[in-house]
Structure 1
């Protein structure tokens, strides 16, 4: 089953383009534009232990000097895997040409309402995409793929 979605992208030349996108079986993301089809050839798969260093490196590259000098998001990725709240079943990478170009991680959390009642939720982050692959739909594809998996796991949206 494929999901179709619509949006805007900014091309490397700075043009704004409307697009239609499809995430199909196997997690492949395809941009559809009118009659032309350009496949991005992204594979989305679970992260495994041998990916940890590559994911931490890409996370550092994605966030370096973005909000402050340096970054800490790669350390968050490293430490998050070791805590009980980490949801390994929603930890995914995006690959292009056998190179990891994106990653999404989830964890459990609790929020309290105005009456002090705690509610269990899941949160994602870091969501990291190599700078050379940003604005290409990699992050969106990771979000859409893992949201579908979360729903299949019985995690409901509010």
Structure 2
């Protein structure tokens, strides 16, 4: 059995540090949350023609990058557990976009593969990122910088999760 390693705790505030506000508009979490809601509304419009929800679109992007992956590999890429992924994958299978088969080497693993219909959906999906870019109203460098900052923030937060 592996010894328990405690997770790091955030640095405490010093007396000289400003005290955090409880005002809603001062909260990073609310800025991220409300931005996520706005982004999801734009995605909902862009994905309606493809017949996909945003989480389904994420799964499809993983598969368009690399077909025939395990459920756990998809979960790792998307930061989702199998309890969240399984119903989503079943809906994609019902829509004829993916197949789910047990791995021959290890029956506990389920391999997710694109069907021809799922593979064909990649072409019209290529318009989605440009739709997001247009809706954001930002320069490409600005969006790239924000993405890098968010990835760094996610990494830091995951250490304390």
Return the structure number with greater helix share. Answer: 2
Q: TM-score, normalised by structure 1?
A: 0.26
Bigger proportion of residues as strand = 1
TM-score of the superposed pair, with normalisation by structure 2: 0.26
Point out the structure with max Rg over C-alpha.
Answer: 2
Larger relative contact order (Cα-Cα within 8 Å, sequence gap ≥ 6): 2
